[in-house]
Structure 1
Amino acid sequence: MGKVDLHTHTTASDGTGSPSRNVQLAKAAGLAAIAITDHDTMAGVEEALAEGERLGITVVPGVELSTVADGQDIHVLGYYANWRDDLWQQRLTGLRSVRDNRNELIVAKLVELGLDITLEEVIAVALEHSGGAVSGKTVGRPHIAELLIRKGAVSTMQEAFDRYLASGSAAYVNPPRVHPYEAITWIKEAGGVSILAHPGLYGNDELVEELIRSGGVQGIEVYHSDHGPQEEAKYLQLAEQYGLIVTGGSDYHGEREGKVFHGAIGSRTVDAGVLGKLKPRSNDGSSE
């Protein structure tokens, strides 16, 4: 049935390529399907679906929700949620408002540290990537990092995160967010399937297992650009132990300064057969 990349980002959040471009790259990589999983928004889904139909590539509507558990950022992927549902869209808007607040707090900290930066300049960077519209889209730390590079405050994206934007760095802030359990419930209520994203990035396997055991998450992202063979084997065993759907994806964010973040489209995949487990089902048990 071919291979699928179930984790990619576009200009609807902090990726550098349009939704159409991601689908084109999936076609070029010989994939059967690609998921669009922007942070706290599904604004790129419609464009991707149209391009997928044109190119004969299946597009999986997705999202990556930002949550916090025990002070740790946890990301939950949701697939096939009904992006036209009003309540779901209200909830996504609320999540983006938390991101907006975080951006304001980060910029304030950077100013305190003596950097010449404004929130308006950050939004202008996001506007460049999104084609001049940010409504329903996400502005995030990569846009701040890009502005810091332009201003000569840092030389690379990595330096921007290491010095200012990553957890524990000088300008990092982590405002209150929803708990993963709540995000999982929201995804379910919107008709979608929830997957715990890149567990290897959290550095807390005890918390990961607790979220799996008690939170109702339906799958786990075993294969990810930042997972090594040992991590993949560990999380595959965990998936088998708890009967979870096994997914994987590149977490593609596009290219900056000649470097692809986190991996190229198609660099981490799973068999397309997994789509049958992710698609919503009708009352008679058949896939819709």
Structure 2
Amino acid sequence: MRIDLHTHSNRSDGTDPVDVLIAHAKRDGLDVIALTDHDTADGWGEGRRAAEDLGIGFVPGIEISCKLSGISVHLLGYLPDPSYQPLADELATVREGRTDRLPSIVARLNEMGVALTVDEVLAQATGTPSVGRPHVADALVANGTVANRSEAFDRFLADGRPGHVSHYAIEPGRAIDLVCAAGGVPVIAHPWGRSSYKVMTAEMIAQLVSDHGLAGIEVDHQDHSPESRTALRAIAQDLGIIYTGSSDHHGVGKIDHELGVNTTDPEQFQRLLDVAKSNAAAATDATVPEAYLP
């Protein structure tokens, strides 16, 4: 069984419509796919319908923007109730923060002599409530400033680059609490990728497990070296938590993240479903979704 638990559609910063993403997953031999768009559950209904039509397993999820000591950290929440009000309110605040920073990003780029308008960015974000830096990158590609998203981030938009502007994000412990209260399963995404390795130490992971109920960490990811994967798997095993593998697929918006490039072991996936069942039973104020598993 091939299981990919981290993918994005054009409901956030992926490039494929939801139904196309599901069709590609089926084409590429996946048995189960999770849709984990940034800070939104907007694609879940369409994703489930497409999965049912094609006979492929579907797990609804969200990738939540977090920040710890000023460092970006992402949390994957599987099977939470997106209408659980405290969670819905925080996600709305995150999305608003993403959109509200666009004029500042554009102004910084303009000061550098880069021609760009907010309207050009919004034109690249059609159909998503979660506008982010990838849409700025797509606008820069569209007007010929850069060749692709990678160049846009490397030159202008990555953390520490001149066009980067921070936005509101949730503290990881609170995000984990919210996912659990909404009946979902919290898993830290690519904990040693990008800059999150600076704060996602073994000690911090253990603290998030003991104090907040963190259920797992994403181990097999393209941002992790073989050595990091070995060390992270050992941390997960020592803590008795789930470890997953996934592609973090964004369509053509992210190279070297093809569907199924990393997958989750079926035993670990079953553990995730077991935690989901337990958390759902404890979430008296939430109406949790179900995974579709043909």
TM-score for both structures, normalised by structure 2: 0.87
Describe the SS at the equivalent of 2:245. strand
Query: In the alignment, what sits opposite 1:269?
Result: 263
CA RMSD of the aligned region, Å? Answer: 1.9
Q: Offset at 1:10?
A: 0.2
Q: Offset at 1:196?
A: 0.7
Query: In the alignment, what sits opposite 2:216?
Result: 219
Is the contact between residue 199 and residue 205 of structure 1 (CA under 8 Å) also seen in structure 2? no
Q: Offset at 1:184?
A: 0.8
TM-score for both structures, normalised by structure 1: 0.89
Question: What is the letter of the counterpart of residue 39 of structure 1?
Answer: H
Is the contact between residue 3 and residue 31 of structure 2 (CA under 8 Å) also seen in structure 1? yes
Decide whether aligned partners of structure 1 residues 264 and 77 sit closer, same or farther in structure 2, where only a CA change above 3 A counts: same
The one-character-per-residue Cα deviations of 1:51-82 (angstroms, maximum 9, x if unpaired) are: 11111111101010011111110001000111
Question: Which residue of 233, 236, 239 corresponds with 2:236?
Answer: 239
Is the contact between residue 71 and residue 199 of structure 2 (CA under 8 Å) also seen in structure 1? no
Q: Which has the higher contact order (CA 8 A, sep 6+)?
A: 2
Q: 1: CA distance between counterparts of 2:234 and 2:244?
A: 13
Q: 2: CA distance between counterparts of 1:266 and 1:244?
A: 22
Q: Offset at 1:108?
A: 2.0
Query: In the alignment, what sits opposite 2:33?
Result: 34
Q: Offset at 1:203?
A: 5.7
Q: Offset at 1:177?
A: 2.1
Query: In the alignment, what sits opposite 2:226?
Result: 229
Q: Offset at 1:205?
A: 5.5
Query: In the alignment, what sits opposite 2:277?
Result: 281
Is the contact between residue 195 and residue 220 of structure 1 (CA under 8 Å) also seen in structure 2? yes
Decide whether aligned partners of structure 1 residues 40 and 103 sit closer, same or farther in structure 2, where only a CA change above 3 A counts: same
Q: Offset at 1:6?
A: 0.3
Is residue 59 of structure 1 aligned with residue 51 of structure 2? no
Q: Offset at 1:119?
A: 1.2
Q: 2: CA distance between counterparts of 1:90 and 1:262?
A: 34
Q: Offset at 1:262?
A: 4.6
Is residue 186 of structure 1 aligned with residue 186 of structure 2? no
Query: In the alignment, what sits opposite 1:103?
Result: 102
Question: What is the letter of the counterpart of residue 216 of structure 2?
Answer: G
Query: In the alignment, what sits opposite 1:250?
Result: 247
Query: In the alignment, what sits opposite 1:196?
Result: 188
Q: 2: CA distance between counterparts of 1:162 and 1:267?
A: 23
Decide whether aligned partners of structure 1 residues 203 and 176 sit closer, same or farther in structure 2, where only a CA change above 3 A counts: closer
Decide whether aligned partners of structure 1 residues 126 and 186 sit closer, same or farther in structure 2, where only a CA change above 3 A counts: same
Percent identity at matched positions? 38
Describe the SS at the equivalent of 1:207. coil
Decide whether aligned partners of structure 1 residues 120 and 210 sit closer, same or farther in structure 2, where only a CA change above 3 A counts: farther
Query: In the alignment, what sits opposite 1:85?
Result: 84
Q: 1: CA distance between counterparts of 2:140 and 2:6?
A: 27
Q: 2: CA distance between counterparts of 1:39 and 1:211?
A: 23
Query: In the alignment, what sits opposite 1:153?
Result: 145
Describe the SS at the equivalent of 2:204. helix
Query: In the alignment, what sits opposite 1:209?
Result: 202
Decide whether aligned partners of structure 1 residues 92 and 147 sit closer, same or farther in structure 2, where only a CA change above 3 A counts: same
Q: Offset at 1:248?
A: 1.2
Is the contact between residue 71 and residue 196 of structure 2 (CA under 8 Å) also seen in structure 1? no
Q: Offset at 1:160?
A: 0.8
Query: In the alignment, what sits opposite 2:42?
Result: 43
Question: What is the letter of the counterpart of residue 18 of structure 1?
Answer: P
The range that moved more, 201-210 or 147-156, is 201-210
Where structure 1 has 5 or more consecutive residues not aligned to the other structure, the ranges are: 128-132
Where structure 2 has 5 or more consecutive residues not aligned to the other structure, the ranges are: 283-289
